[in-house]
Structures are given as C-alpha cells and as structure tokens.
Amino acid sequence: MSTGIGIAVPVIVVLAIIAALLIVIVAAIFIIRSKVQKFSMEAFGTKDILQGKRDMEARLAETPKSLRSMTQIYLPQIKKDFPEFDYDLYKNKTASVLRSYFNAINAKDTTLLTEECSNTLKNNVTGIIKDLNVRGLRQTFSEVAIHDVELARYDKNGVTVTILFNAAVGCFDFVEDGSGKVVFGSRELKKQCVYDIELIYVQDVHKMGVYEEGALGLTCPNCGAPIKTLGQKFCEYCGGGVQEINTRSWSYESIREQTVNKTAYK
C-alpha cells in the first residue's frame, strides 16, 4: 500500500505543476492578446492587427501627399523678372507634361511627350525606355490622378532660370517582366508620391552651348534671323518685335520622383 501511495503522490504533483504552467501560459497569451488588440484598436481602429495594417495601407494608397507651396515667396520674384509669365498657365502645362511623361513610358514612345519638353528630358525618357527593353520589362502608370501642382523653388544662375514645380500624384505604378509578373510596385495598391518637374528659361544660348546643335532653333518671325538670346524683345537684325516667342524660351528639363525607393528606370 505504501508503495502505491509513494508512486501516486509524485504523479499528482507533476500534474499540478503542468496544470499551473498551462494556466500561466493561457493567462500570458490572454494578456498579450489583449495588449495586441488594445494597440491595434488604438493604432488601426480594429482588434485584428493584420486587418488593421491592410486597412492602413489602403488608406495611405488613397491619401494624396501634401505639398508645401512657396508661391507667395517666389511668384513675385518671377513676375518681376518675367512680367508676362502666366503662372496658372504653366501650372496646367506642368500637369500636361507630367501626364505625357507617364504616357511615353507606358507606350515606350517619346513622341508622346509634349512639345514643351526639352531634348534633355526626351533623352532621359529614351534612356528609361532602352533600359526597360534591355531588361525585358514594361513599366505601367495607370489611373493617374494629379491632385495638386505647386511652385517649390526659383533659381537664377546667370545662364538659366529654373522654376521647380512639385506635383502630388496618385496612381498604380508597377513593372512587369516578360511573363507579366509584377517585379516592382503593385497592381492592387495605388502609390501616392510627389514629382519634381523643372521648367527652365535659357538666358544666353551661347553659354549653354546648345545653339549650334540646333536644340533651341528660334528665329525672328519677321526676317527669319536667328534669335541668340532667348526672351529678347527685338530682333538685332531687323528691329522687329519678337515678344511672341517668349513662351518658347521655357522648356521642361527634368522630371523626378521624390523617393529613395526608386526603380532603376528613373
């Protein structure tokens, strides 16, 4: 009898210990779960943290980036230097140029770029297209929404004048391989981002070294003589007014996305 009792006592103790451990584990799981749910409720508004994360990503995909407008600071300076500069017109042009940039990459066709794009920008897009072709990839921008365009900077260096616009953009942006597999970006979630678009005005073509190359082949509308200093009001040969060509002096030089997570094609 004593032997049986001696065996039964340790078993009961072990079972009690196991039961106690299970209670502790269950309690710990309950506490951790409660804390996770509390955190999820505070952070995402739902007890399911994974669902909350997905909901947050969906909200971010639909929330436009905010822009810091510097219009009040720089526009008076621009108007002083260029009284005929139509700010609203160039805001609209900037949006059109950006759309043409996306369309050109989508179709791998630089002729879709607007006429306001400089040779430098056209060459940049050509490089993007060549790189995609070499890698056997295709980049797609779809459902593009340009939420806002704002003036961000105004620089003068004696040779050129640069106006930097920022554009808040929402779109699907993804890269596919030859089989149609997405290797960058997402077909399901939009990307909200900001693009820098540079508009430049060449003050002295000779200093740029582009007049001889024909990149800026402007001529007097009266006598056909070359206009060497862009934006000049009168032809140095016939004295005729050339003010109407002023808008052709401005061109879009570059388009860049503001992000450190760039693809190799931007």
Q: Do 50 and 158 reside in the same domain of the chain? A: no
Q: Residue 89 and residue 169: Cα distance in Å, rounded?
A: 19
73 and 195 belong to one structural domain: yes
Instruction: Flag whether 10 is in a domain.
Output: yes
Parent domain of 113? 69-200+253-257
CATH number for the domain spanning 143: value is 3.10.450.240
pTM: 0.65
Which residue type sits at 104?
Answer: A
Burial of 53 (0-12, 13-18, 19+ CB in 10 A): middle
User: 25-34, 96-105, 125-134: lowest mean pLDDT where?
Assistant: 25-34
Give the residue-averaged pLDDT of 65-92.
91
Q: Helix 87-107 and helix 119-135: axis angle, to 10°? A: 20
Reported as a single tens digit per residue, the pLDDT across 147-159 is 999 999 999 886 7
Environment class of 248 (CB within 10 Å of its CB; exposed 0-12, middle 13-18, buried 19+): middle
Please answer whether residues 194 and 63 qualify as being in contact, where contact means their C-beta atoms are separated by less than 8 angstroms.
no
Distances (CA, A) of 97 to 17, 128, 144: 73, 16, 13
Sorting pLDDT into bands at 50, 70 and 90, what band is 221? Answer: low
- Residue (of 208, 211, 219, 210) closest to 248 by Cα position: 219
Does a structural domain hold residue 107? yes
The Cα–Cα gap between 234 and 241 comes to 4
User: Are residues 25 and 84 both part of a single domain?
Assistant: no
The one-letter amino acid at 60: L
Q: Which residue has the tokens 């073509």?
A: 205
pLDDT attached to residue 43: 63
Q: Is the pLDDT of residue 261 over 90?
A: no
Where is pLDDT greater, at 245 or 44?
Answer: 44
Structural contact between residues 241 and 231, judged by C-beta atoms closer than 8 angstroms: no
Q: What is the DSSP string of 141-179?
A: EEEEEEEEEEEEEEEE-SSEEEEEEEEEEEEEEEEE-TT
150/41 same-domain check: no
Extract long-range pairs of 128-135: CB within 8 Å, 24+ residues apart. 128/265, 128/266, 129/104, 129/105, 131/264, 131/265, 132/105, 132/108, 132/175, 132/265, 133/108, 135/264
Q: Quick check: is 55 in a domain?
A: yes
Could you tell me if 44 and 77 lie in one domain? no
Q: Kindly tell me if the per-residue pLDDT of 74 is higher than 60.
A: yes
How many domains does the chain contain in total? Answer: 2
- 45 and 80 belong to one structural domain: no
